[in-house]
Chain A
Amino acid sequence: AQKITQTQPGMFVQEKEAVTLDCTYDTSDPSYGLFWYKQPSSGEMIFLIYQGSYDQQNATEGRYSLNFQKARKSANLVISASQLGDSAMYFCAMSTGTASKLTFGTGTRLQVTL
């Protein structure tokens, strides 16, 4: 069975600072994908970034980067230069075998302050 663990229920960060949101995963499948989604207070799910288990380099998408440490089974999201609009819930998720089946963590609520 697959499992995603997010141990930070809430995080605060000052505007323009960088922040790391933690995610660890567990799977026995050698092939898997790791995703981060953002859920603002309006409720929609917004895709941020993807990392494949065989990818050699860490994924980056603009201000988002994924710190992938395969041996530690961690896939932390790094947001650089935080903005007020980054305040939201952030979910780490994993897929194995098919992209139609995601396993989600419980999320981290990020608050960006002035």
Chain B
Amino acid sequence: NAGVTQTPKFQVLKTGQSMTLQCAQDMNHEYMSWYRQDPGMGLRLIHYSVGAGITDQGEVPNGYNVSRSTTEDFPLRLLSAAPSQTSVYFCASSYSGGRDSYEQYFGPGTRLTVT
């Protein structure tokens, strides 16, 4: 199993550009999430999904869009990049089943810089 994979590892964007961060998992997890990590802070939830076709907003959703057409993939779209979106982005997946005890498996992260 590759686990949770993210591409690209690094990206530099100019203000106003758009791009998609890719996330895929091969563990057949129903739950997937996107977090951002800013310096000196913990991870903050951007969007999450509890299954294909179902997404919802997290704590900091503005400026980001997601969709979940398959169980495996959960791309994050930046609509019009801003310097405030400079961060490290983590994708995560976990089992479902109605319990909150399942650990989230994290991808290696994407370091994004917006100039």
A residues whose Cβ falls under 8 Å from a Cβ of B: 4, 31-33, 35, 37, 43-45, 47, 50, 52, 91, 93, 95-107
Contact = CB atoms under 8 A, between A and B. Distances in A.
Contact of B108 (A43, A93, A97, A107): A43
Of A44, A47, A97, A101, chain B has the most CB atoms within 10 Å of the CB of A101
Contacts, number: 79
Nearest to B44: A104
A47 B90 CA distance: 14
Ranked nearest first, the 9 interchain pairs of A and B with the lowest CB-CB distance are A104-B42, A100-B31, A45-B106, A33-B100, A99-B102, A47-B103, A95-B100, A100-B48, A99-B94
A52 B31 contact: no
A50 B101 contact: yes
A99 B96 contact: yes
A91 B42 contact: yes
A50 B48 contact: no
B100 A98 contact: yes
Interface string B58-79: 1100000000000000000000
A95 B42 CA distance: 14
B32 interface: yes
Interface string B30-72: 0111010000111111001110000000110000000000000
Contact of B100 (A4, A37, A96, A107): A96
Contact of A101 (B48, B95, B99): B48
B100 A97 contact: yes
Nearest to A42: B108
A62 to B, nearest CB: 15
A98 B42 contact: no
Given A33-B101, A50-B103, A95-B100, 18 more contacts: A43-B88, A43-B109, A45-B106, A96-B100, A97-B100, A99-B94, A99-B95, A99-B101, A99-B102, A99-B103, A100-B32, A100-B94, A102-B92, A103-B45, A104-B35, A104-B44, A106-B42, A107-B42
